[in-house]
Chain A
Amino acid sequence: MDIMFFPVVLIVTGGIVSRLLQKRPAAAMVTGAGTLCGGTLAAIIMQILCYCHDGGFAVRDLFAFPVLILGLAGAIHSIGYLAGHGSERSGTYWFFFNLTAAAMLAVTAVDSASNPLSFLLAWEIMGAASFALVIFDRHNQSACRAGWIYMIACHAGAGLLILLFCFDLTPLWVFIIALLGFGLKIGFPLLHIWLPEAHPAAPAPVSALMSGAMIELGFYGLLSFGILRDGNIALYGWVLSILGMATMLPGIIFALAQNNLKRLLAYSSIENMGILSCALGLGFLGMSHHIPGMMICGFAGAAVHLLNHALFKGGLFLGAGSVYKAAGTLDMDDMGGLLKRMPWTGTGFILHAAGLCGLPPFAGFAGEFLIYCAAFAGLGNRELPLTVISAAVLVILAVTGGFAAAAFAKVIGAVFCGEPRSAQAEDSVEVSPGMILAVWMLFFLSCALLAALPCGIRYLVGLMTPEYIGYGESISGMVAAVALFSLAGLLLIFAIMLLRRGLNKRCGERKSATWDCGYALPDPRMEYTATSFSRSMVDFFGSLLKPARKISAPQGIFPGKSELDEEIADAGMRNFWQPVFKCGTFLASRIHMLQSGSLHFYLLVLVITLIGMLLGAVLQGD
Chain B
Amino acid sequence: MNNSLPVFAVNFIAALVLAPLLPGIINKVKAFFAGRKGPRLFQLYSDLGKLLKKECVISSTSGGILRIAPAIQLTLTVLAALLLPMGFKNSPLMFPGDVLLFFYLLGTCRFFSVLAALDTGSSFEGMGAAREAFFSALAEAAVFAVLAFLVLFSHSWTLSGMLTGIGMDSWISFTPVLLVSLAMLLVMLAENCRVPFDDPETHLELTMIHEAMILDYSGADLGAILYTSSLKLWIFGSFIVSMLIPGNILSGWQETALSIGGVFASAVLVGIVESSMARYRFLKVPPLLISALVLAIVAMIFQLFFNGGIR
Contact = CB atoms under 8 A, between A and B. Distances in A.
Nearest to B128: A528
B22 interface: no
A416 interface: yes
Contacts of B41: none
Nearest to B131: A536
A169 interface: no
Contacts of A402: 107, 136-141
B75 A493 contact: yes
Contact of B107 (A350, A401, A485, A533): A401
A372 B97 contact: yes
A403 interface: yes
B267 interface: no
Interface stretch (B29-37, B119-127, B165-173): B119-127
A298 to B, nearest CB: 14
A402 B119 CA distance: 20
B38 to A, nearest CB: 26
B269 interface: no
A359 B219 CA distance: 28
B95 A477 contact: yes
Nearest to A354: B111
Given A399-B137, A419-B61, A514-B61, A409 B114 contact: yes
B115 A413 contact: yes
In terms of DSSP, what is the predominant structure of the interface of chain A?
A: helix
Interface in A96-112: none
B134 A417 contact: no
A452 interface: no
Interface string B136-172: 1111110111011001100101000000000000000
B277 to A, nearest CB: 22
Contacts of A354: 108, 111
Contacts of A496: 71, 74-75
B81 interface: no
Interface in B263-311: 282, 286, 293, 300, 304, 309-311
A339 B63 contact: yes
A512 B105 contact: no
A417 B111 contact: no
A5 to B, nearest CB: 42
A201 interface: no
Interface stretch (B52-60, B177-185, B254-262): B52-60
A307 interface: no
Nearest to A499: B71
B56 A507 contact: yes
Contacts of B310: 382-384, 387
A358 B100 CA distance: 11
Given A343-B64, A376-B157, A497-B67, 15 more contacts: A337-B121, A360-B76, A369-B101, A375-B148, A387-B310, A394-B147, A395-B148, A395-B293, A402-B107, A409-B115, A481-B93, A497-B71, A514-B122, A522-B123, A528-B130
13 contacts: A337-B61, A369-B101, A382-B309, A384-B304, A391-B145, A405-B114, A419-B61, A478-B97, A481-B98, A485-B101, A515-B59, A533-B129, A537-B130
A-B residue pairs, 4 tightest by C-beta: A528-B126, A402-B137, A339-B63, A413-B118
Interface of B: 52-61, 63-65, 67-68, 70-72, 74-76, 78-79, 93, 95-98, 100-101, 104-105, 107-108, 110-111, 114-115, 118-127, 129-131, 133-134, 136-141, 143-145, 147-148, 151-152, 155, 157, 205, 215-216, 219-221, 224, 282, 286, 293, 300, 304, 309-311
